[in-house]
Structure 1
Amino acid sequence: MSRPLPSVRHAYRDFIPMQTRWADNDEYGHMNNATYMSLFDTAISTWQMHNGLDIRGPKALRFLVVESGCRYFSETGFPDALHAGIRLGHLGNSSCRFEIGLFCNDQPTACAEGFFTQVLVGDRSNPTPIPVRVRETLSRLLPAS
Structure 2
Amino acid sequence: MPTTFASSVAEAVADTVQDCRRRGWTVAETVNGVCLITDEQISAIELTGTLAATVRRFLRANNLSGPVIEIPGAQRREIHLVVGAAKAAMAIGALREVGAIVHTGGASIPLPPTRLSAGSACWGVSPAEARWVPPVVAIAAAVRAAETGRKPHVSGMAC
Short-chain TM bin: under 0.3
- Which structure dedicates a bigger proportion of its chain to helix? 2
Structure having the higher strand fraction is: 1
Q: TM-score, normalised by structure 2?
A: 0.24
